[in-house]
Amino acid sequence: MNPNVRTPHQWNSLDAGQVAESSPSILIFVWSVLNQFLEWFGNLGLFAWQVMRAAVRRTFEGRELIRQLDEIGSKSLPLVALAGAAIGAVLSLESRSSLVRFGAKSMLPAALVYSIIHETGPIVTGLVVSGRVGAGIGAELGSMKVTEQIDAIEASGVNPYKFLAFTRIVACILMLPLLTLAADFCGVLFGWVAETLVEPVSFLRFINQGFVGTTFSDFLAPTLRTAVFGLIIGMIGCFQGMRTRGGTAGVGFSATSSVVLSSLFVILADVILVKFILVFFS
Amino acid sequence: MMRSEQEVLPAVEESVNTHAIEISGGKRDGPAVILRDLHKSFGSQIVLDGIDLTVENGETLAVLGRSGTGKSVLLKLIIGLQKPNSGSISIHGQEISTLQLDALNEIRKKMGFLFQQAALYDSLTVEQNVAFPLTRHTNMTEPEQRDRVKELLAEVGMEGNLKKMPSDLSGGMQKRVGLARALALDPGILLLDEPTAGLDPITSGEIDELILKLQAEHAMASIVVTHDLQSAKTIADRLALLHKGKVQIEGSFKQLEESDNAFVAEFLKRDY
């Protein structure tokens, strides 16, 4: 028998031996990852505490807040509107074929509006803003950190947690619901455009059918949910940016990690908040 | 290191810039900065190991040393950007190492800091950069702020660049604007981190002259961290040489040259 060829039994015994040998290092690796994860959360908690403490101190930083509302809100509007429009058009086209199959074509406007205002609009806005704004905040604050601009702010007797972090986080919290309404509007509008290209229908009729049975609370809870997305995006972007180390490579890492982490936590928060809304608002 | 181990040369007092002291008129009593037995380490790496230094009002102290000896860390400790492991930092008689943030910010307003790369705010114009401390710490109206900014920029030879962005400026120009920003609140203490680093010899000379002029006009206590011995010789009344976390020697440039300390001799020979 060729000594290089192992029988299945030999393979199994080898794997078991390898696992036994490597299990301490796997445990160490798992512990290390868990440790880093807990440390990151701990530092995020401390950062949030610093921001909250800074928030109640004097000097409102109104001018910087307005600048951030413009940066985060107005400048995100075209991208969010485009994403909302695309989702509305695609949902309309995709839903149409399914509804026609079940003889429920007349339900299309209502299904589209319900889907957009309840889930698609908020989550698409959250993810688009976490990509654009999360990366922007992470990279901007990261480069400010490595070029000592944050130290310069602190050295001039200004609290950077207030001037840089608080203003950005508040701007994110305020702008996300407004951007979501814009995405919802564009989604419904381009859903109608897609529908009317296939089978002409007046906009008024589409809207009347779409909003049948829709109440203000249908808008309120999902839209306000995005304020939590704003808190997550602003907080993680600022945290990752202000803890940047290691020059330009560190800035790149901060930008990327801001997007990845804020998108991840937006999705997780969405799952939790949907359940919360279903329990308390339905 | 204990202060007794430190080589303090006897003629230090004579080397103080008397011109600057005349201008300040001895308005403030006592030294501007007193550091006592200051220790700072990062993990297991000891950076400062018992620093004792005193800087009088109107005096300029240059802190020299090899890269990584904690010169910039020393400045950051003085302005409270980092906390010492132990030791005392007194600014105009007030201990700052134990102060709460609000009280520390009040002390910071009395100090100007020029960072190594100027650290101008990227998103703000030159005018907004210089006005930054004024908008936050004074009750000046906008026209008053504009006048003050113009005055400060004229002092550093940067008038006519109000609307430029920092990225449009050369390294030397950024340092000048950084100096104007550091002087905005008319500080009693000026901290300069490598003011001539990365500049050509002519621009370095211009920055040195500018610092001398500003010291004479504003009568500040200054601490200058530098590798540039020529610059230190030009602008400083007194020099302190850091090595292995301790002050190896302090005194005038002439006294350093005359020292028989082997490290001092090697430092001067290699860098000057």
Both tokens of A259, joined, read 């997007």
Both tokens of B255, joined, read 């006294």
Best probe of the B interface among A140, A149, A242, by most B CBs < 10 A, is A149
Domains and CATH numbers, chain B: 3-110+187-271 (3.40.50.300)
Contact A65, A169 (CB under 8 A): no
Is A55 a member of any domain? no
Both tokens of A179, joined, read 């951007």
| pLDDT at residue A274 greater than cutoff 90 | no
Reported as a single tens digit per residue, the pLDDT across A198-246 is 889 899 999 999 888 888 888 888 888 999 999 999 999 999 999 999 8
| pLDDT at residue B17 greater than cutoff 70 | no
Cβ-Cβ contacts under 8 Å, A52 against chain B: none
Is A254 a member of any domain? yes
Cβ-Cβ contacts under 8 Å, B111 against chain A: 155
Mean pLDDT for the stretch of residues B88-114: 91
The pLDDT of residue A142 is 96
User: Using only C-alpha atoms, what is the Rg of chain B?
Assistant: 18
Give the amino acid at B231: S
Contact A113, A184 (CB under 8 A): no
Flag if A151 and B119 touch (Cβ within 8 Å).
yes
Nearest residue on chain A to B105, judged by CA atoms?
A: A157
Picking from A144, A155, A159, the nearest residue to B113 by CB comes out as A155
3 state SS of B114: strand
Separation CA B23–CA B25 (nearest Å)? 5
Is A260 a member of any domain? yes
Q: What percent of chain A has pLDDT over 70?
A: 91
- Domain containing A163 equals 61-281
Flag if B115 and A144 touch (Cβ within 8 Å).
no
Separation CA B95–CA B228 (nearest Å)? 31
The pLDDT of residue B86 is 94
Both tokens of A93, joined, read 């086209």
Q: What is the DSSP string of A119-178?
A: IIHHHHHHHHHIIIIIHHHHHHHHHHHHTTHHHHHHHTT--HIIIIIIHHHHHHHHHHHH
Is A2 a member of any domain? no
| pLDDT at residue A71 greater than cutoff 90 | yes
Question: pLDDT-derived band of residue A18, with 50, 70 and 90 as boundaries?
Answer: low
Q: What is the DSSP string of A81-103?
A: HHHHHHHHHHHHHHHHHHHHHTT
Best probe of the A interface among B115, B120, B152, by most A CBs < 10 A, is B115
Is A4 a member of any domain? no
Nearest 10 degrees: Cα torsion B222, B104, A55, A272: 90
The pLDDT of residue B22 is 34
Cβ-Cβ contacts under 8 Å, B181 against chain A: 156
Lay out the sheet containing B45-55: strands in order across: B45-55, B33-42, B86-91, B94-95
Is A35 a member of any domain? no
Of B63, B105, B60, B64, the residue nearest B81 (C-alpha)? B105
Q: How many domains does chain A have?
A: 1
Contact A109, A199 (CB under 8 A): no
Contact residues for A208 (Cβ-Cβ < 8 A; gap 6+): none
Cβ count near A232 (within 10 Å)? 25
Cβ count near A11 (within 10 Å)? 10
For chain A, give the mean pLDDT. Answer: 89
Predicted ipTM? 0.83
Question: pLDDT-derived band of residue A20, with 50, 70 and 90 as boundaries?
Answer: low
Cβ-Cβ contacts under 8 Å, A143 against chain B: 122
Reported as a single tens digit per residue, the pLDDT across B153-173 is 998 888 888 899 999 998 889
Of B157, B181, B230, B184, the residue nearest A148 (C-alpha)? B181
The pLDDT of residue B29 is 65
Contact residues for A165 (Cβ-Cβ < 8 A; gap 6+): A47, A50, A51, A54, A234, A238, A239, A242
Cβ-Cβ contacts under 8 Å, B117 against chain A: 147-148
Cβ-Cβ contacts under 8 Å, B119 against chain A: 147-149, 151-152
The pLDDT of residue B219 is 82
Cβ-Cβ contacts under 8 Å, A59 against chain B: 136
Burial class (CB in 10 A: 0-12, 13-18, 19+), A57: middle
Of B110, B73, B72, the residue nearest B90 (C-alpha)? B110
pTM of this prediction? 0.83
Flag if B115 and A148 touch (Cβ within 8 Å).
yes
Separation CA B41–CA B49 (nearest Å)? 8
Best probe of the A interface among B78, B121, B128, B175, by most A CBs < 10 A, is B121
- Tell me how far CA of residue A138 lies from CA of A160, A172, A243, A248, A259, in angstroms: 15, 14, 10, 12, 8
B199 or A14: which carries more pLDDT confidence? B199
Flag if B115 and A143 touch (Cβ within 8 Å).
no
Question: pLDDT-derived band of residue B180, with 50, 70 and 90 as boundaries?
Answer: very high
Separation CA A180–CA A224 (nearest Å)? 9
Flag if A157 and B102 touch (Cβ within 8 Å).
no
Nearest residue on chain A to B113, judged by CA atoms?
A: A155
Contact A266, A232 (CB under 8 A): yes
The pLDDT of residue B265 is 83
Cβ count near B14 (within 10 Å)? 9
Flag if B136 and A159 touch (Cβ within 8 Å).
no
Separation CA A44–CA A262 (nearest Å)? 13
Is A238 a member of any domain? yes
For chain B, give the mean pLDDT. Answer: 84
Is A275 a member of any domain? yes
Give the amino acid at A42: G
